[in-house]
Structure 1
Amino acid sequence: MLLDKGDRIVMIGDSITNADRCLEDDTDQGLGKGYVSMSAALFKSAAPGMGIRVINRGIGGNTIRDLCNRWQKDVLDLKPNWVSVCIGVNDVWQHFIKDHDPATLIGPDEFRDMLTDLVKQTMPLVKGMVLMTPFFLGDDADDPKRIKMLEYCELVRQVASGFRRAVFVDLQEPLDAMMQQIGEKELSADRVHPYACGHMAVARAFLGAIGFEC
């Protein structure tokens, strides 16, 4: 496994990462109901002696701009050994909101450049970073939202490929595999926020990428 005994990992993102976490509780009991909490539980149950500390810093509605604005306080000041980032859903959905101010939209170039800047400033301070793609929980290949989401997934892959200690995790692939078997309605009510089974798929993809077996 890439993480060492006693490592601290900050997992940051939007509402998918937040998953009803308790803002005042940084213990495992405050990690929320999603993939962050599930990952922490699997760490503790399968490797209790490792003492891995998981910190959830997901905030609903966040975009890459929001992460940049709070990066110092919510990531660097916590002095993590590892950082996991899952962002992009809101950056994409903005493009499909009626009457959204075009001047405030986050285009592909800005998204890629901001994510790159975050990785550049963080890598000298940590052992590594995990960059996970956003995803769309709809199985219509021609859906414009899905097409746009895949574009931003590719941007995450491009950023990760430029850093030796960056671990890339494609979340769309395992979620697509689930949709093929059980249908999108069993995964999400809004094609954005996954049910528990989807969060478990995200947790498994994350843990598999860092070499954690349970």
Structure 2
Amino acid sequence: MTLPKPAVLFLGLMFLLTLALVLLGGFYDVSDEPEPRASSAPPARIIFFGDSITAAGDQPGGYVSLIRDTLGQDYPHRSVEVLGAGIGGNKVPDLQARLDRDVLTKAPTHVVIYIGINDVWQYEFAGLSGTEPEAYEQGLRDLVERIRFTGAEISLCTPSVIGEDPDSPAPSINA
């Protein structure tokens, strides 16, 4: 099922806004003082880690590249490196297997994990090799623990809604 374009755009914009607020609140000091010419703050390395949504987000116009561009424009004196580490079809166990190689060896200061679509839809809807709910939860806990051990900040993003019915009366009931 595909979402109508306005719904996709709205969900994408809400995701970007939320993520930007989380990231900016995590390592930028907001003050009335002018930005110094050279920042004394240590460099930040943000890695977006996930599946095809993250891989596509690292392409021009995608959410990872938009965040990279925005941080570079809004904070030109702050050293921020934004890296995408998404691979299509990945599930939580795949992220566990490649965490060291694709994330931890790059010494991130922040890791954004956006995973779950393949785990859920393949398990619930497609009858494929999705991830059991208990394995999904334990896998996320393992990822968080291993990243936390390095001292990096972590942001977990919930999977996108799937199987929704745009004609459902639920929005009017919940209003």
Name the TM-score, length of structure 1 as normaliser. Answer: 0.56
Tell me the distance in 1 between the aligned counterparts of 2:60 and 2:90: 17
> C-alpha displacement at 1:33, in angstroms?
3.5
Is 1:88 paired with 2:112?
no
- 2:88 & 2:151 partners in 1: Cα distance? 25
Cα deviation, residue 13, structure 1: 0.5
Q: Where has structure 1 moved over 6 Å in runs of 4 or more? A: none
Q: Which residue of 1 aligns with 2:89?
A: 61
Which has more radius of gyration? 2
Task: Give the counterpart of 1:14 among 48, 51, 74.
Answer: 51
Q: Structure 1: which amino acid aligns with 2:49? A: I
Q: Distance in 2 between matches of 1:126 and 1:142?
A: 45
RMSD between superposed Cα atoms in Å: 2.3
Distance 1:117 1:141, change over 3 A: farther
Aligned to 1:134, what secondary structure does the other structure show? coil
1:115 to 2:140 alignment: yes
**Structure 2 unaligned blocks of 5 or more:** 1-24, 29-40
Q: 1:47 aligns with which of 75, 100, 104?
A: 75
Judged with a 3 Å threshold, the aligned counterparts in structure 2 of structure 1 residues 142 and 93 are, in CA distance, closer, same or farther, namely farther
Per-residue deviation at 1:138?
6.0
Cα distance change on mapping 1:120 and 1:107 into 2, 3 Å: same
Identity of aligned residues (%): 35
What does residue range 163-174 of structure 1 map to in structure 2 within 5 Å? none
Question: Is the partner of 1:11 in helix, strand or coil?
Answer: strand
Answer whether contact 1:18 1:32 (CA < 8 A) is retained: no
- In the TM superposition, residue 18 of structure 1 has moved relative to its aligned partner by 0.5
Partner of 2:126: 97
